[in-house]
Amino acid sequence: MRPAAGALLALALAGCATLPRPVASGDALAGDAAQRVRTDALGLAGGDCAAPAWSLVGRVALSNGRQGGSGRIEWTQAAGAQRLQLSAPVTRQSWVLEVDGGGAVLQGVAETPLRDSDPARLLREATGWDIPVAALGCWVRGAAAAGAGLGPARIAYGLDLLPRRIEQGGWTVEYDGWNADVGGLPLPGKVEARRGEDRVRLVIDQWAAE
């Protein structure tokens, strides 16, 4: 597959600034207890990041140390299937990634749809972006990705006992602005995942439970 990261290079990263590091931490035992309750309520106790049904709309910024781009993101998932659409309003370019039990299909970066059993590998080879799709469905909701094959997670909590940082599989995920409330559960407004030079930054404008 030919790299197609150039499709987003005309975009600026100004919309998604780097998140501030947490300066105050909460009690780890109390945080773990609160996190178990929250994870159960989110439907993530089994570690399946593709469940349950939910959606978000927001802004995303991507970088790999050599290239960077940003745009609008719409993420919808239900019944074990995920659909991510990234669009650049200025250049009117977009791509769509659809993932289910049969693998992943990427449209918009080549003349014909691209397919792979591994969505992260598909994106990496087609666009140059390293996006941990299997884990991000959990991380974006402030939960460890127990079923993503990344090993155990370390979670640091704020004084409100909500996650401020998750470290898992070499990735560090930081949170800011827990101001969304869906179904009585707090959800983050800003998420940044990084590993080495790879960065995925999300600013969520709207959450919805499907």
Q: What is the pLDDT of residues 22-74, one digit of tens each?
A: 446 778 999 999 999 999 999 888 878 888 889 999 999 999 888 888 899 99
- Domain total in the chain: 1
Range of the domain at 106: 5-10+24-209
Any domain includes 18: no
* 81-88: long-range contacts, CB 8 A cutoff, minimum separation 24: 81/50, 82/50, 82/133, 82/137, 84/133, 86/8, 86/60, 88/7, 88/8, 88/10, 88/11
Instruction: Give the CATH number for residue 109.
Output: 2.50.20.10
The per-residue pLDDT for 90 is 64
pTM of the model: 0.85
Q: What is the pLDDT of residues 109-131, one digit of tens each?
A: 888 999 999 999 999 999 888 89
Any domain includes 17: no
Cis peptide before 52 (omega within 30 of 0): yes
Residue written as tokens 């080879």?
A: 125
Any domain includes 16: no
The residue-averaged pLDDT of 183-190 equals 89
Any domain includes 167: yes
pLDDT band of 4, cuts 50, 70, 90:
very low
| 16-48 core/surface letters (b: 16 or more CB in 10 A; e: else) | beebeebeeebeeeebeebbeebbeebebeeeb
